[in-house]
Homo-oligomer: A and B are copies of this chain.
Amino acid sequence: MTRVLLASRNAKKLAELRRILAAERVAGIEIVGLDDVPSFPDAPETGATFEENALAKARDAAAATGLPSIADDSGLAIDALNGMPGVLSARWSGKHGDDQANLDLVLAQLTDVPDERRGAAFVCAAALVHPTGPESVHRGEWRGTLVRAMRGDHGFGYDPIFVPEGDTRTSAELAPAEKDTLSHRGRALSLLLPHLSDLSG
């Protein structure tokens, strides 16, 4: 059994990552969390891209623990904000991790943006870094539009205002398993999985 570290301190994101990986049941791999390893300091997320941040987090975790490590960086790229909040999605209001403040700010900023220019994409970069060197990073995107009021109780972050293409529900109104099959995070992890299987070989 090869132990692989899932390096996230965001409880809701961690639950989603674990659920997606559990559904895929990669043989010979045991997923462990940060609670299962000695603690190490967080690196600052100062990269200009999701890929840089995901790789930096996975590299730090692999170096600190000696375990192959998975990390993601993700966010919402809003067309009318030139792709922002992007890598700043979790701290858009200035307070890191305050979902409600971030949602309120985005809705206020988009007040005067007409319906035809309210497109956006959820983006996830998922990195897998082995302590002896091999690494890869994979990008998943999920296109949709942003509504003017929050709907739904599932998910986290900007889910309550994001309506995926081809649907009328927000991603916070999708059942978790349904979200996983469609989402940016699900897509990025499905691209990462073959590399995970390699580890157990």
Closest to A45 in B: B112
Q: Which residues of B contact A93 (CB under 8 A)?
A: 105, 108
Whether B80 lies near A48 (C-beta < 8 A) is yes
Would B94 and A104 count as touching, CB distance under 8 A?
Answer: yes
The residues of B that contact A14 with a CB separation of less than 8 Å are none
Copies in the complex: 2
**Contact indicator B82/A112 (Cβ below 8 Å):** no
CB < 8 Å neighbour of A82 from B44, B86, B95, B108: B86
User: Chain B residues near A117 (CB, 8 Å)?
Assistant: 48
Task: Indicate whether A109 sits within 8 Å of B82 (C-beta atoms), given known contacts A48-B117, A114-B46.
Answer: no
A94 with B84, Cβ < 8 A, contacts A46-B113, A48-B117 known: no
**Residue in B92, B108, B111, B112 whose CB lies within 8 Å of A109:** B92
Q: Which 6 A-B pairs give the minimum distances between C-beta atoms?
A: A94-B108, A82-B82, A82-B83, A46-B112, A84-B84, A81-B84
**Knowing that A81-B84, A94-B108 are A-B contacts, what are 18 other residue pairs whose CB atoms are under 8 Å apart, sorted by A's residue number?**
A46-B112, A46-B113, A46-B114, A48-B80, A81-B82, A81-B88, A82-B83, A82-B84, A82-B86, A84-B84, A88-B109, A91-B108, A91-B109, A91-B111, A94-B105, A94-B111, A95-B108, A105-B105
In the assembled complex, 27 residue pairs joining A and B whose CB atoms fall closer than 8 Å, in A order, are A44-B112, A45-B112, A46-B112, A46-B113, A46-B114, A48-B80, A48-B117, A81-B82, A81-B84, A81-B88, A82-B82, A82-B83, A82-B84, A82-B86, A84-B84, A88-B109, A91-B109, A91-B112, A92-B109, A93-B105, A94-B104, A94-B105, A94-B108, A94-B109, A94-B111, A95-B108, A105-B105
